[in-house]
């Protein structure tokens, strides 16, 4: 959403419902729905998804690549089609501990990107914290 307001140019602020806004040059406002800033995260991530098809549970295991990450969520790219509302079991590598963190996340948005799909996921618990 873009709205003109030249008097707020250059400001970054939080508005109702934790939507972040940045007023760019010329007074254009870009809204951002994530609560915390993400950091670049280019690592292979495996995930699992359970679907019900024809009254049977179908378990899908697939791989993706991390794009960015925060304590609240992660952006990934994969060749598997996922839709908003899907809940995934993610296996995120932890290089510091030389292990894998397993967390659940909900697909918040998904869109095609070149030959893959790009999506934003929200962790269902704030259990994964980035180590600096």
- pLDDT digits over 2-20, tens only? 444 444 444 433 333 333 3
The whole-number average pLDDT for the span 51-55 is 84
Q: How confident is the model over 106-131, as a mean pLDDT? A: 82
In the predicted model, what is the mean pLDDT of residues 37-66?
90
> In the predicted model, is pLDDT for residue 31 greater than 60?
no
pLDDT of 18: 34
| Dihedral angle of Cα 127, 112, 28, 36, to the nearest 10 degrees | 10
CA torsion sign for 116, 108, 120, 52 is negative
Separation between Cα atoms, residue 30 and residue 2, nearest integer Å: 6
Given a cut of 60, whether residue 116 has pLDDT beyond it is: yes
Of 121, 7, 15, 4, nearest to 69 by C-alpha is: 121
With beta carbons less than 8 A apart as the criterion, state whether 27 and 6 touch. yes
Residues 60-100: tens digit of each pLDDT: 999 999 999 998 899 999 999 899 999 999 999 887 778 88
Predicted local confidence at residue 99, as pLDDT: 86
Which numeric CATH code is attached to 39-123? Answer: 2.40.10.220
Q: Determine the average pLDDT of the residues in 25-50.
A: 73
Q: Taking the domains of the chain in order of start, what are their residue ranges?
A: 1-33, 39-123
CA dist., res. 102 & res. 93, Å (int): 9
CA atoms within 13 A on the CB side of 88: 31
The token pair at 90 is 């993610």
């Amino acid at each position: 959403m873009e709205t003109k307001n030249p008097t707020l140019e250059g400001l970054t602020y939080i508005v109702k419902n934790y939507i972040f806004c940045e007023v760019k040059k010329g007074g254009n406002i870009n809204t951002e729905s994530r609560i915390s800033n993400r950091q670049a995260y280019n690592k292979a991530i495996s995930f699992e998804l359970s679907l019900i098809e024809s009254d049977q549970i179908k378990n899908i295991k697939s791989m993706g690549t991390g794009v960015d990450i925060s304590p609240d969520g992660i952006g990934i790219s994969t060749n598997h089609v996922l839709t908003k509302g899907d809940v995934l079991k993610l296996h995120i590598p932890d290089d510091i501990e030389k292990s894998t963190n397993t967390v659940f996340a909900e697909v918040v948005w998904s869109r095609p990107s070149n030959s893959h799909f790009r999506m934003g996921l929200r962790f269902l618990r704030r259990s994964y914290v980035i180590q600096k």
